[in-house]
Structures are given as structure tokens and as C-alpha cells.
Chains A and B, each alone.
Chain A
């Protein structure tokens, strides 16, 4: 059973969704433990690589250079790919991307495609769109397949079903694959999924992937997986369609040497993903299509405050380290992307729907420290708060009267009066009265007790010399 309902266009409420995730402590505790383990594995991998900080700087520079010359590199990429015999398409947004896919498939009578994990296709809502045209896009990645069967979005960009327990998966597979609901052994479950999937892989008329990197110099793309499922899609069906966000470009093959050293270490800790698939030209007798997708990326590239986020290589390190994400589960964010990177990506797609996300953070800053391409994610979150408030959205914190507080704090007399009244009120009200559902502080914490005298008063009584600071 899904813990979450899918969000419509209504503003998402990450605080409420996270509270429900925590209420069910079994899931939250396992989630925190497993996701934190990825962070510690990342730390070990980083410690074993003395030049890690230099690599971060170089990776950041490669990405910044590419993004500031993106038009040139995209044209290089298109020319090189076309010369390799690849069909290159351009999509302005998700709808155009999906229309291109539908057209390719309908022209060739494709009814079943197998796809490996792609956050971009997720972002475009591709699978739902294909379903409307009678085309099934079946996930070949184990975690993504679990999410597909659960009718949920991926809750993490690298490990999409990390919020689910083994027992949840056993129950899910029992319903869909006829497995033993009481057997939650991971090997049994993975094997059952594999046996169910293999015949479909052989039957599929098309394979689909995303792209981790697109190399302008060679016109090739690189897909990193741990299950080798991108290879099946690329080598079995006669047609292959790859969706590529335009920010995935890097200039040269040699730049991969930097990027590939960082991606898997940042994500889960191992030096490399199990499979690194390079797709350059169609197999003899097969077709290869690349769809280059903008979907608001060029708009973000034009934003002085937020263009840095396009450096993201989707490793998930910021999610793993985020103490709020670990307690919330990724579905609580209600968008394509979750965790710190989701907070700074999702509102750009829809500032109203996602206006609460930048406030679902304690601003601890850990995300900025782990980011392999040095995006100052915490600073981006901070700036998104300004952006949201200046656009006139009313996040919960504004409704609580933070603006009024600003007024009070600007006026020392008013501040002192408020402080005195506030303290008296707190003293008069016993904890029992404050500990109700209307006071969110007190469910798991006691209220702080105000001092008998403020420091201001103490100073007045003990240190005030004539004429000082009158």
C-alpha cells in the first residue's frame, strides 16, 4: 500500500507528508539508516581519493564552461551524432518530447518499449503520455519497476524505491507477480522480477534510456547503471530512443575521466557503476534516436541567481546527506526531484505548486559540501525562499506572522514590550495547555522556560553606569 497519494496541481505540503512518514516509524527509521549508509560509503570513497577536492573544482569548471558555451557544444553534438547515423530531435518541453516519442513509435508500430531509469522522462511525464496512446513503457530497473507497480514516483534519483521496506516489496510482488507474500528475501524478490521481466524484454519493439553524459566531441552518450539494464534496451530491440537534457553536455571524451570518477562515489560509494554504457551509433540494421530536451533549462540558464543548478549530474549525494530528506522520504516533496536538489529544481517548473519546498530544509548546508560539481545548493535554497516570498506566495511561515515579527524587531521599545508580555504569557500558561495540536512545538519537545529576568534587565541592575548607552 502506498503511504502517499499522488499530488495534483494543488500546492504540495511536504511538512504534512513528512509528518505522516515519521508517524510510521518503521519506514522512517530504516530509510534514515539506509540513506545515511550511502553518505558514509561516499565519505570512505572520498577519503581514499586524496585529490577529491581538486576533482570537484575541475568537474565544476568543466560544467560551467560547457554551460556558458552551451549553444556551441549542442551544435557540435548534433553534427557529430548525425554523422554517426543517429537521428537527432529537439524538444522545447515535455509535451514536445512526448509527441516526438509517440510519433517515432506509432510510425513503427511499437506497442511495448523497455526503458532504463531516466529522471528526464519522469520529468516529462512520458510513461503516462505513452499509455494514452496505447503504448506501454516498461521499467527495466528493479527499483523503478517497484515504483511503477506501486503507482508512485521515484523517491530518490539513484535508488528510486529506497523508502519501501522489503516486506512492502514482497506484498507488492505477491499481488502483481504471484510471489509468496511472506518471503521478503531480496534475492528471491529480485529473481522473481527478473523472471517476469525477461520475456517482455525480448518482446519489446523499442528500448529507451536517458543519458548521464552527452559528449559534444564524439556525439556519443553515456548511461551509467548498476543492473546493466540499459544494455539490454540498447542491444536487443531494433529501435532505440534516448532522452537527453541539454545540460548533460560535456565537451570531450577525456572530460568523462573526471565525471565518471565522481558520479558513483558520490552516489553510493563504489568507484564506478557496475555498467557504463557508451552509445555512439546504431547497430547494423537498427535505428538510434536522440531527443535533446530543453524543458525550461535555457530559461534557468538565463537566471543570474539559479543557473548553477544546471551543473547537477544527478548523483543524489545531496539527498543522502540531507537530514530532512532522510526523515521525510522522497515522496513527501511531491515533485519529480526530491531532497535538496528537488527543492531547487521543482519550483522552477511551477513556483506556486512547489512554493513550500524551499522551506522544507533546516539550511544545515551539508548538501553544498558533498556536491561533486560544487553547486552551493544551500545558498540556492536560501535564495529560492526570497524568490517565493517576493513572488507573493504565502508559505506557512509567512502565514505564521514572520512579517509582523520583523516590525517588532525593528523597534526597540516595541520589542521590549512584546518580550515582556510574551514572557509573562509563557509563564502563566503551564506546559499542559501549550502541549496541544495547535502548538506544533510541544508534541515531542517541552517549551523553553523564559528566564525570571532578561539579560537586559540584569545588565541594568548590575552593570549600568551613568551615561552609558542611554
Chain B
């Protein structure tokens, strides 16, 4: 399958190792993976702040970068959710609609589309707290939201992590509480955002986790900020890094 690799802008700048892990993982499954070099951002930061005008050009540019791919895979629930559900500031051309349908979040692609159940390079003998992003859970339905206790339980990230030798899954007390990142919210609402991050990190510390794993680096950026500031005995790791067996930095 010819896959377009979508690397969210902040992953490109801050966490290239997550993009490398994603690329290697997809290649190891035998796919032909291309990285459109002109890509910048999906438009979410502007659209989430209500500025459709500012989002439109970035969105149109995103469509242009990926319109030739059958499948677009990105390691971020939040960005994929924006593209699939909210990318409507730019013109809804046939290409736009196709790209919006073609985009898959990495865990979805592995778990749902490819039904991958072995990760030969991966060993992770650690206690890993699972933090699915809010957009992954409540937006993309990658797990049963805790608010709906009557639905059958399921979780894509936990299913995938169960295939990793040595890995022990740790659940937080508040299983899918928001980490407080929220895009620009983390700056404009700094006090609340920081408190939410603090509470979330401490929930995992109390449960004895060594790592927090997530499919969203933005949540981990927020949590790592708190962890480093408070010198907590915790590390963060992206799903792609665990599943690909690194790189970890």
C-alpha cells in the first residue's frame, strides 16, 4: 500500500524520533511510505481557536500535500480528528473530501485496518500507564469512553500494548481524564491547564507507573512539562516508539 506519512508540525520540530518510529513501523509492515516534504500543519491550531479564516489556507495546503495518497497515516489522534471531523474551513472539493476520508491515526491503522498482532522489534519490560488522548477516545472512538459504562469495553491502544513482551499496563484512577493540554488552551488558560497536567501525572505516579504512553505527543508534551518541573519518577513514550522498539530519543 502506498502511504503518505503525515508528521504533525510539533512532532517534526520537537519529537522527530516519534516520526522515525512511525515511518520504520509502517515500512516494516511492507508498505511504501512517502513523506511529502512541503507539509506544514493540518490547520487545527487556528480552527480550534475559532479562526476559520486563518485555518483555511493551511487546510487547503494540507489537502494539496496528500491528495495523491490512498492512505495517509499520522501518529496523532488530535490532528487526525481535526482532519476527519473539522477540516471544513477550506473548500470542500472532491480532493478535500478524499483526504479527509483517507487519513488514519497510527493505532487505528495498525489495529483496525491491518490487524497487526506481532511487533518483532519490540520489548518493553516496564509498567506503562495508558493515556489515550481525549480526541482518540471521545473523538475517534479508539476506546470506550468512561462516561458510557454500559457499552462493551474496548481499547485499541491497550490491545496493541498487550502484544509487547514484558509490558505491564497500569490504569489511572480517572481512566480517561484530560491532561489539560488543549492546544492554545495550555497557554491562554495556563493555571488550569497546569493543574490538570499535575493531577494527571500524579494519578499515574500513585499507581506506580514508570512510563506514560500515548498516541498523542501533544498530551505527552504537556505531561512531560509537569514531570520535569516537579522531578517526578515518570517518563513519557509514544505508542509508535514502543511498538517499533524505538528510537527513544
Tell yes or no: A199 within 8 A of B by CB: no
Check B145 against A369 for contact (C-beta < 8 Å).
Answer: yes
A43–B173 Cα distance when bound, in Å, is 14
Chain A: number of interface residues, binned into ranges: 35 or more
Residues of the B chain whose Cβ atoms lie less than 8 Å from the Cβ of A365: 134-135, 138-139
Tell yes or no: A321 within 8 A of B by CB: yes
Tell yes or no: B124 within 8 A of A by CB: no
Contact surface of B with A, Cβ cutoff 8 Å: 7, 9, 11-17, 19-20, 23, 34-41, 43, 45-46, 48-58, 60-61, 86, 134-135, 138-139, 145-151, 174, 177-178, 180-199, 221-222, 224-226, 228-230
Shortest B72–chain A CB gap in Å is 14
Check B43 against A409 for contact (C-beta < 8 Å).
Answer: yes
Residues of the B chain whose Cβ atoms lie less than 8 Å from the Cβ of A378: 138
Check B187 against A440 for contact (C-beta < 8 Å).
Answer: yes
Check B14 against A451 for contact (C-beta < 8 Å).
Answer: yes
Tell yes or no: A194 within 8 A of B by CB: no
User: 8 extra interchain contacts, Cβ-Cβ under 8 A, other than A406-B56, A456-B37?
Assistant: A15-B190, A53-B148, A53-B151, A368-B138, A397-B188, A444-B230, A453-B16, A457-B16
Q: Which of A27-74 contact B (CB under 8 A)?
A: 28, 32, 36, 43, 46-47, 49-50, 52-53
Tell yes or no: A254 within 8 A of B by CB: no
A445–B186 Cα distance when bound, in Å, is 10
A385–B226 Cα distance when bound, in Å, is 28
Check A22 against B226 for contact (C-beta < 8 Å).
Answer: no
Check A402 against B51 for contact (C-beta < 8 Å).
Answer: yes
Knowing A32-B199, A403-B54, A444-B194 are in contact, say whether A360-B189 is a contact too (CB < 8 A).
yes
Chain B interface mostly helix, strand, loop or mixed? helix
Shortest A40–chain B CB gap in Å is 9
Check B186 against A441 for contact (C-beta < 8 Å).
Answer: yes
Contact surface of A with B, Cβ cutoff 8 Å: 15, 18-19, 22-23, 28, 32, 36, 43, 46-47, 49-50, 52-53, 321, 323-324, 327-328, 358-366, 368-370, 378, 382, 384-390, 395-398, 400, 402-403, 405-412, 415, 419, 422-423, 440-441, 443-451, 453-460, 463, 468-469
Knowing A359-B49, A455-B20 are in contact, say whether A445-B191 is a contact too (CB < 8 A).
no
Shortest A324–chain B CB gap in Å is 6
Shortest A425–chain B CB gap in Å is 12
A365–B35 Cα distance when bound, in Å, is 32
Residues of the A chain whose Cβ atoms lie less than 8 Å from the Cβ of B225: 441, 444-448
* Option from B40, B184, B186, B228 in Cβ contact (under 8 Å) with A409: B40
A370–B193 Cα distance when bound, in Å, is 22
* Option from B49, B148, B174 in Cβ contact (under 8 Å) with A369: B148
A44–B192 Cα distance when bound, in Å, is 27
Shortest B133–chain A CB gap in Å is 9
Knowing A366-B138, A385-B50, A403-B51 are in contact, say whether A15-B148 is a contact too (CB < 8 A).
no
